[in-house]
Amino acid sequence: MSNAALVELITREVLAELEARRGRNLARTAPASMAKRVPVAVSARHVHLAQREIDILFGPGYQLTKRNDLYQPGEFAANEVVTLVGPKLRPLTNVRVLGPVRDRTQVEISRTDAIYLGIAAPVRRSGDLAGSAPITLVGPKGSVTLPEGAIIANRHIHMSPVDAARWGLKDNDEVTVRTVDAERPTIFGGVQVRVSPKFRLVMHIDTDDANAAGLRCNDEVEIR
Ligand SMILES: [Zn+2]
């Protein structure tokens, strides 16, 4: 075999090997890109306020001031905080107010918080407040006791219509997710899918769920 023929043979073999490797790499990445991975954000206890309650807690006509923007466009953490009180008269202080102002005041706590306060807050979707737990809010200018409004927010995933279509999901579907590389492998059921053009992809879980699985912000879960 001539030198040139040998070089050509080796070149062909190398190219064939590279091509085969590329194929194997594609085969590896394809399932990963199909995986329905969702980053996690842990929601600490917080309140959404209606202007009626803002007027009582912070003074008539008071306007919330922005501390920082949240991941979902338009949502923000306010500088304002309130204290929550229940029948056990044990205060939960420095509970963050989230803006913008809502039509109804909604208090979102964990089960652990509910036990601490002594209220029977139900697990609910955001906005589903009928028959939820009574709660007292205390601000610098006054306090208000709501006959209902305290909930344990359900597990939910915010996503855009593009993400929803890509994964064959629609608004208000319920899915099950499993943790990826979490300290304590966990499967979460009953996860509400919330679809809106305004939403960016993220799963919201409360501190009880996060702590149970050892999940932190930006960890990932996978929709099964
Ligand atoms: Zn959310």
Residue 28: the pLDDT is 42
User: Are 137 and 82 in contact, with CB atoms under 8 Å apart?
Assistant: yes
Report the pLDDT value the prediction gives residue 11, as an integer from 0 to 100: 58
pLDDT for the residue 181: 86
Note the pLDDT of residue 4.
Answer: 66
Closest CA to 215 of 188, 192, 197: 188
Place of tokens 């023929």: 5
Cβ distance 150 to 92 under 8 Å?
no
Give me the residues of the chain with pLDDT under 70, please. Answer: 1-33
Question: Span 34-41+155-223: which CATH code?
Answer: 2.40.40.20
Residues in Cβ contact with 26 at an 8 Å cutoff, skipping those fewer than 6 apart: none
Domain ranges for the chain, please list them: 1-33, 34-41+155-223, 44-153
Token pair of 134 as six digits: 């009574």
Q: Residue 46 Cα, ligand 1 centroid: separation in angstroms?
A: 12
Ligand 1 centre to CA of 34 (Å) is 24
Rounded distance from Cα 71 to ligand 1 centre (Å): 10
Strand ranges for the chain from DSSP E: 36-43, 46-50, 66-69, 76-85, 92-102, 106-108, 123-124, 133-138, 143-153, 156-159, 174-179, 187-195, 202-206, 220-223
